Amino acid sequence: MDGMRFTRRRLLQLTGAAGAVVTVQACGGSLGGGSSPETSVKVGLLVPQAGVYAPLGTDMRRAWDLWLESHDGKLGDYTVETVVADEGETPQTGVPAAQRLLQSDQCDVIVGIVNSATALGVRDIVHEAKKILIVANAGAEDITAKASSPYIWRSSFTNGQVAAGMGRHLAENGPKDGVFVIASDYAAGAEAIAGFTSAFEAGGGTIAGRADPPFGTTQDYQPFLSRIRNSGAKATFCFFAGAEAVSFVKQYRQFGLAPDVPLYGSGFLTEGGVLDAQGEAALGVHTSLHYTSELDSSHNKEFVQSYQDAYDAVPTVYSVQTWDAANVLDRALRGADGLDGDTLSTALGGLGPIDDSPRGTWSFENQTPKQKFYLRKVEKRGDRYVNAVVTETGAIGQPG
Amino acid sequence: MSAPADIAAPAEGEPRKPPPVRVLVSVLAAVLLAAAPLFLAPYAISTLTRMLVFGLLAASLALLVGVSGLPSLGHAAYFGAGAYAAGWFAQNVSAQAPLSLLVAAFTGGFVAAATGWIAVRARGVFFLMLTLAIGEIVHQVADSWESVTGGSNGLYGIPATEVGGAAITNVGVLHWYVLAAFGGGFAVLWAVKASPFGAALRGIHDNEPRMRSIGYPTSLYKYAVFVVAGTVAGLAGGLLAAQQRLVTPADLGFTTAALALLAVIIGGARSLWGACLGAALVIFVRDSIGPSLDGHGPLLLGVVFILVVYLMPNGVAGIRIGRGKGGGKP
């Protein structure tokens, strides 16, 4: 246990290392200079850049950049200065990052947040700072219900709402009697099941059984798949995302359930990168979501085209949610005469229908979108798999 | 470190009586920390407060790892248990100042007592694996016991701590509150380390069979220090709940445990204040630099870790300025 002596060489090594850290910090620090406050708005883009949600963060950031590029870098008449911060995987990284954007970078508005726990965790900071937060993904009901704040708006969805779209569709079009419900055992899964069940049962459907495989640790879904088979269900409704969505869909197919007991789910089951990983196993899977890149509208076609030109990639629902966050901010800033939370909140509340969104027309109801849902079916077009539109529901708001 | 007489001698060149310089530095550090809210911006203060919280966790882990030779990978479990207990208590019973901290410390100690007796029977890699398993189990409980912990969304909307009916919402005042509790927790750790009990723990660290053969009930000693460390970690958890007003399963997950261990290693394992400095560095890199690195925050943390291991094998606490004073073995 010798204490370390300070030789000159050691000291040089150390100061060198310290210097490197400082340099890195300087590079990553605040971007751009300050223009006068009346004509510029500082937006903190809080998206995951590391960890399991990083692909979502990429889609979100691309859409944000694309919006600014195609609108002269402006929201309303304000020049936008964007400060990007890494949300990471959990609130442990997300909350301090939000704090930094608000307190250190002095952002006027925050956009982003994928993880629901992070969105709920920053609620008090945002509320007390009286700054606008536009949640561009996180789907927990409480964000715009139990924990709502006049300063927190959402441009995405709620977990129950997406599932309710499917519940309503199945109740109307069948199979109506005997649907097995299965979802990862965590908050989002429970909300999805609740949303599906209440909409489905309200339409006269019956549930054949329910299972909640442990979240994040289940590798083998065989026991659950046997239960689905033994329950005699006519169809399965599920909520899975990310790697779990890939393994569930693949195992569902391998187990031989897919032809007899068709698989339905919340759209995240087959959205974005997971669909490429599922490949053929996902063919014929039906999901509900408020967007698919295959929508046949002029607004969507234009959006998809410019997104593909810029990034050589197909936009996802995560891109559209961020695009729409920029869209509503743009509209709100046109009508507002200040950047403070109260002014912007009032402006957002008076927006009316957002009629030029790639997802179709939607509007705010209780600060979260009221929107229609698309019933999508996985098909192969050329050499890639897509979520083709089968039909759509009427506008659905946050359930409850 | 072979003769029994050496066991009582403080390790790592720590003098028996603290030299004036060391006392002076400690006092200066305390004064600077206390005065910080007077001249630092709110964001810097809340970062500093977070450093204190995480520092107390790291210091309690250093008592296990460095002093007692019990490298735990599940120490965040007690931190998180304390945080959840404090948050739940503040939400449902009372947010009055020290109450939730006491509940947190008690819960941390209780969970450590309930799980530690299995862990301390094992040594080395087995201890590592057992504590890892305990941490994962507690994490799983936090994730699935939704009615109490809020499940994966965590416990949010925890009311601000109240002193005499007034809620502490000012970050500077909150910093003082956390600093005071930090001081209390750190004093407990320091007292344990400096006591004859602490000397026996160092003996167990260096040569457990020998300690057992001279008649020390080593398992009992290890169990006791495990509970003490768990209690202080619980207290740190209570501070987390008070500061962040949010507790999620990530706070007691493997990542937190690993970061705490990283802080201890950066700090120099055997040193309590070194662990606090390590924690400060980890928080600084993760929260202040990390978010603006385009997703390379974790990478930078890894680089810092490698640099520290290579350049400062004895951690921050191993640095001795001057001509090798007090660097060697007794």
Q: Do A2 and B144 touch (CB under 8 A)?
A: no
- Angle, alpha carbons A342-A105-B180 (nearest 5°): 95
DSSP for A252-274 reads HHHTT-TTTS-EEEEGGGGSTHH
Asked if B43 and A3 come within 8 Å (Cβ–Cβ), the reply is no
Element at A225 (helix H, strand E): helix A222-230
**Cα–Cα dist B313/A96, whole Å:** 30
Dist. CA A296–CA A127, nearest whole Å: 39
Give the span between the Cα atoms of B304 and A12, in whole angstroms: 16
Q: Which residues lie below 8 Å from residue B147, measured CB to CB, with a gap of 6+?
A: none
CB contact under 8 A, B143 and A28: no
Confidence tier at B18 by pLDDT (50, 70, 90): low
Which chain A residues have a beta carbon less than 8 Å from that of B280?
A: none
B328 touching A (Cβ < 8 Å): yes
Instruction: Report helix, strand or coil for B20.
Output: helix
CB–CB of A104 and B41 under 8 A?
Answer: yes
Contact between B153 and A117 using a beta-carbon 8 Å cutoff: yes
d(CA A228, CA A224): 6
If one counts every other C-beta atom within 10 angstroms of the C-beta of residue B2, the result is 9
CA distance B42 to chain A (A): 7
* Residue whose token pair is 């209440």: A198
| Separation of alpha carbons A68 and B7, rounded Å | 67
Nearest to B295 among A54, A91, A185 (CB): A54
Write the single-letter amino acid at B281: L
How distant is the Cα of B315 from the closest Cα of chain A, in angstroms?
9
Six token digits for residue A17: 């290392």
Top residue of B57, B158, B292 to mutate, by most chain A CBs within 10 Å, is B292
Nearest in space to A228 (alpha carbons), one of A268, A257, A192 = A257
Q: Which of A4, A17, A121 sits opposite B248 (nearest CB)?
A: A121
CB neighbourhood size of B21 (10 A): 8
pLDDT tier, B288 (very low <50, low <70, confident <90, very high otherwise): confident
Are A43 and A80 a contacting pair, CB within 8 Å? yes
List the structure tokens of A191: 């909300």
Residue B274, classed as helix, strand or coil, is helix
B28: Cα within 13 Å, side-chain hemisphere: 6
Query: B218 vs chain A: nearest CA distance in angstroms?
Result: 23
Residues in chain B with CB shorter than 8 Å from the CB of A59 are none
Q: Which parts of chain A register pLDDT below 50?
A: 1-37
Q: Give contacts of B324 with chain A, Cβ < 8 Å.
A: 3, 5
Sequence ranges of the domains in chain B: 19-257
- Tell me, what DSSP letter sits at residue B161? P
CB A376 within 8 A of CB A263: no
**Does B170 score more than 50 pLDDT?**
yes
CA distance B36 to chain A (A): 16
Provide the pLDDT for residue A84: 94
Query: CA distances (Å), A350 to each of A147, A335, A346, A353, A369, in order?
Result: 22, 9, 6, 10, 14
The token duo for B59 is: 């210091």
Q: Are strands A177-183 and A206-211 parallel, antiparallel or unpaired?
A: parallel
Q: Could you please report the per-residue DSSP string of A304-341?
A: HHHHHHHHSS---HHHHHHHHHHHHHHHHHHH-S--SH
Superfamily name and number for A160-289+374-396: Response regulator (3.40.50.2300)
The dihedral of CA A46, A51, A52, A56: what is its sign?
positive
Lowest-pLDDT range of B13-22, B89-98, B263-272: B13-22
How high does pLDDT run on average in chain B? 86
Structure tokens at B268: 């120099």
What is the per-residue pLDDT for A3? 40
B157-to-A99, A149, B114, B160, B236 alpha-carbon distances in Å: 16, 12, 29, 9, 19
- Residue B328: which of A2, A25, A86 has the nearest Cβ? A2
CATH (residue range A40-157+298-366): 3.40.50.2300
Q: Residue A358, preceding bond cis, omega within 30 degrees?
A: no
Which residue of A6, A45, A59, A90 is the best one to mutate when testing the B interface, meaning the one whose CB has the most B CBs within 10 A? A90
Q: From the CA of B318, how many Å to the nearest CA of chain A? A: 5
For residues A264 and B250, give the distance between their C-alpha atoms in angstroms, rounded to a whole number. 31
Which chain A residue has its CA at the smallest distance from B300's CA?
A21
Q: Is B42–A103 a contact, with Cβ atoms under 8 angstroms apart?
A: yes
Token readout for A336 is 């507002």
* Calpha distance A157→A161 (Å, rounded): 7
Taking the Cβ of residue B156 and every Cβ of chain A, the question of whether any pair is shorter than 8 Å is answered with yes
Q: Which amino acid is at B25?
A: V
Tell me how far apart the alpha carbons of residues A385 and A278 are, in angstroms, rounded to a whole number.
9
Residue A225: its pLDDT value, please? 93
This prediction's pTM: 0.82
Minimal CA separation from A194 to chain B, in Å:
15
CB A131 within 8 A of CB B252: no
Q: Give the three-state DSSP class for A372.
A: strand
Which CA distances in Å does A255 have to A222, A312, A339, B178, B327?
A: 8, 35, 55, 55, 65
Query: What span, in angstroms and rounded, lies between the C-alpha atoms of A316 and A321?
Result: 9
In residues, how long is chain A?
400
> What are the distances in angstroms from CA A347 to CA A24, A185, B114, B310?
39, 38, 55, 56
**Residue B63, class by beta-carbon neighbours within 10 Å (0-12 exposed, 13-18 middle, 19+ buried)?**
buried
Give the β-pairing of B319-320 and A4-5: parallel
Q: How far is the CA of B228 from the CAs of B56, B62, B138, B260, B301, in angstroms?
A: 13, 12, 18, 17, 29
The CATH 3.40.50.2300 portion of chain A extends over: 40-157+298-366, 160-289+374-396
Please answer whether residues B237 and B178 qualify as being in contact, where contact means their C-beta atoms are separated by less than 8 angstroms.
no
Using the beta-carbon criterion (under 8 Å), do A96 and B329 form an inter-chain contact? no
Based on DSSP, count helices (H) and strands (E) in chain A, helices before strands: 13, 15
Parallel, antiparallel or unpaired: strands A206-211 and A263-266: unpaired
Q: Name the helix (H) or strand (E) containing B54.
A: helix B42-62
pLDDT of B320: 61
8 Å CB contact between B62 and B270: yes
Q: Which two tokens stand for residue A348?
A: 């957002």
Element of type H or E holding A392: strand A384-396
